[in-house]
Amino acid sequence: MDILSAKDVAQSFRDALDGALVTTRIYEREVGLKKHRYTSLWLDVKRDGFRTAVLHLCQLQELPHFTVIAPVDRGDSVDLLYHFALYHGHHLKAIALAIRATLQKSELTIPTISDLIPGAIFAERETQEMMGVKVTGIPDDRRLFIPDDFPQGVYPWRRDETGPHDMLRVLPGRQGIQHE
């Protein structure tokens, strides 16, 4: 396996995704007492190019290290940030890689990557039940964290009004719904 620089990895995604890649950003910083370089690469992709981006990642490194899906409610849209570590385990060569797909709330669907990266199924199931994003093609779409008797259509991580008022909690001293 050839280990590419973050700049070369970004270029390979530009070549592979054609018009589906929106932006790339590379961040480098020094960490630790020895000031080792830590590199992260952020890719913004269109939803239609998301699966192609993960396929390309799997071509760069067989079974890249998947860490988490971090969903962010942006009001009218939801950002899904898929975090990976490229070259994980290669001392001082690893690149933190985030692939972001922005979904409009009117079309909250994304294809599964669990057939490419089996461990992603747990994060996909979590994203479905907590954010209301439908993961198409997921082999097991049962709830993972929320009990079966939890109301359908209520998504705990969403910022919009998706459930009854009595399910929402506000910390004391904060603005918002007040409980009696």
- Per-residue DSSP letters for the chain? -PPPPHHHHHHHHHHHHGGGEEEEEEEEEEETTTTEEEEEEEEEE-HHHHHHHHHHHHHHSSS-EEEEEEEEE-SSEEEEEEEEEETTTSTTT-EEEEEEEEEEGGG-EEE--TTTSTTHHHHHHHHHHHH--EEET-S----SSS-TTSPTT--TT-SS--S-GGG----TTSSS----
pLDDT value, residue 180? 44
Inside any domain, residue 40: yes
Inside any domain, residue 161: yes
What is the count of structural domains for the chain? 1
Inside any domain, residue 68: yes
Inside any domain, residue 87: yes
| Digitized pLDDT (tens) for each residue of the chain, 180 residues in all | 788 999 999 999 999 998 999 999 999 988 888 888 889 999 999 999 999 999 999 999 988 999 999 999 999 999 999 999 998 877 778 899 999 999 999 999 999 999 999 999 999 999 999 999 999 999 998 999 988 888 888 888 888 766 555 565 665 665 655 544
Inside any domain, residue 107: yes
Inside any domain, residue 178: no
Instruction: Specify the CATH number for the domain of residue 103.
Output: 3.30.460.80
Inside any domain, residue 20: yes
Inside any domain, residue 92: yes
User: In terms of residue numbers, what domain contains 129?
Assistant: 6-167
